[in-house]
Amino acid sequence: MHNRVAVVGSLNIDLVIELDRMPNPGETVFGTRLERHPGGKGLNQAVAAARLESEVHMIGAVGDDGSGDWLKDVVTREGIRSDGIATARGTSGTALIEVDASGENRIIVIPGANDQVSPADVADHLKALSAVDVILTQGEVPIEVMIAAAETGKKIGAQVVVNPAPVRDYPKELLTNVDILVPNEHEAQELTGMPTSNMVDAVEAAQALQERGPGCVIITRGEKGAVWSSAEGSGQAAAFKVSAVDTVAAGDAFCGGLAAGLARGVSLAEALRWASAAGAIAATGRGAVPSLPSLAQVTELLER
Ligand code: ADP
């Protein structure tokens, strides 16, 4: 094992606008605050794995607007290799998030450059990296890109971890090349049409998903922990008890933590503990990237 993770996924700029109340159609209102944050499930999960001190290579695309350079800077400042990030013509992936005084939000996402990632470039880049242990991808890039990542992963002997978020019509060609599929309970329910709210049901849903091709399925269930199903059987990973303030990016921390653990060659059970600790700590901090824990924080929680 080389502790090397390649993340094939989205990079977004999140523009968060706070305002007293949402405008009606045709109306103009004043906002009270504008913040700019890095986001996208690909970027979040890459940062999560990098903070756990894996060597992380980000593969994706940003636009040739100012946001693209800013996103690449964010990535390199986290110690993530950015040679796999192409610059496409047009806008970077952008999420416009409006939050009113009651906390209600409205979100518009422009996939932008994330939709322009090329499957052939992804395959070439992955083959050129030597000894990748884990390839991690999510549903915010084209399905053909996810398939290229998974198929190449199989060829080069990497473990392929897929976070099927958001839920899309994921084809067999993808699922049969997945080693570990990691939906949350809502995604698992949408993918299977089966209930997932109690543990027994969640295990059954994991088994049903596993029958579609993945070697292992892990369903994350927030403060209720996670369940898994694989050829070896099934089981659960308890959540760590923390006081949660904002669970945004808990799932991203979990996926990044899982990838980082696996890239170090620990067992699935141990990687699940890393993932659960990373998810729990992310739930104790506000925002996405700012809440992603360091290796020291995860180690401290694991030893507690
Ligand atoms: P998502 O962010 O995709 O909805 P989850 O909420 O299922 O994902 O969280 C992923 C994982 O993070 C959980 O399986 C759990 O291990 C951990 N986690 C999330 N929320 C909490 C919490 N409130 N307390 C402890 N652990 C949590």
61 to 9, 12, 24, 46, 55: CA distances (angstroms): 8, 10, 34, 14, 19
**Could you give the number of structural domains in the chain?**
1
H/E element holding 175? helix 172-175
Determine, yes or no, domain membership for 213. Answer: yes
Nearest protein Cα to ligand 1, atom 20: 222
134-173 pLDDT tens trace: 999 999 999 999 999 999 999 999 999 999 999 999 999 9
User: 111 C-alpha to center of ligand 1: Å?
Assistant: 25
Query: Average pLDDT of the chain?
Result: 97
Determine if ligand 1 sits within 6 Å of the CB of residue 283.
Answer: yes
Q: Of all residues in the chain, what percent carry a pLDDT higher than 70?
A: 100
109 pLDDT band, cuts 50/70/90, is: very high
Determine, yes or no, domain membership for 48. Answer: yes
Q: Residue 238 above 90 pLDDT?
A: yes
CA contacts within 13 A on the Cβ side of 38: 25
Separation between Cα atoms, residue 31 and residue 23, nearest integer Å: 10
Contact 8, 137 (CB under 8 A): yes
Determine if ligand 1 sits within 6 Å of the CB of residue 272.
Answer: no
Q: Residue 304 above 90 pLDDT?
A: no
Residues 6+ apart with CB under 8 A from 241: 280
Determine if ligand 1 sits within 6 Å of the CB of residue 194.
Answer: no
Separation between Cα atoms, residue 15 and residue 105, nearest integer Å: 12
pLDDT at 75: 98
Nearest protein Cα to ligand 1, atom 22: 223
Residue 109: other Cβ atoms inside 10 A: 18
Tokens 């899982």, residue located: 258
Residues 6+ apart with CB under 8 A from 276: 225, 226, 237, 238, 239, 240, 254, 257
Comparing C-alpha atoms, which of 8, 13, 36, 39 is closest to residue 249?
A: 39
Determine, yes or no, domain membership for 87. Answer: yes
Contact 165, 191 (CB under 8 A): no
- The pTM of the full predicted model, rounded to 2 decimals, is 0.97
CA contacts within 13 A on the Cβ side of 24: 0
User: 184 C-alpha to center of ligand 1: Å?
Assistant: 8
Determine if ligand 1 sits within 6 Å of the CB of residue 250.
Answer: yes
Q: Residue 1 above 90 pLDDT?
A: no
Tokens 């729990």, residue located: 280
State the CATH number of the domain containing residue 248.
Answer: 3.40.1190.20
Reply yes or no on whether 201 is catalytic.
Answer: no
The conformation of residue 271, written as its DSSP 8-state character, comes to H
53 to 49, 110, 253: CA distances (angstroms): 7, 31, 13
Residue 134's domain spans which residues? 4-22+32-303
7 Rama class: left (phi>0) / alpha (psi -120 to 50) / beta: beta
Residue 295: other Cβ atoms inside 10 A: 14
26 to 22, 23, 32, 102, 283: CA distances (angstroms): 11, 8, 19, 22, 37
pLDDT at 101: 96
Determine, yes or no, domain membership for 27. Answer: no
Q: Which of 14, 65, 133, 252 is catalytic?
A: 252
Determine if ligand 1 sits within 6 Å of the CB of residue 244.
Answer: yes
Indicate the top mutation candidate among 276, 286, 298, 301 to test ligand 1's pocket, ranked by most ligand atoms within 8 A of CB. 276
Separation between Cα atoms, residue 200 and residue 184, nearest integer Å: 15
Determine, yes or no, domain membership for 174. Answer: yes
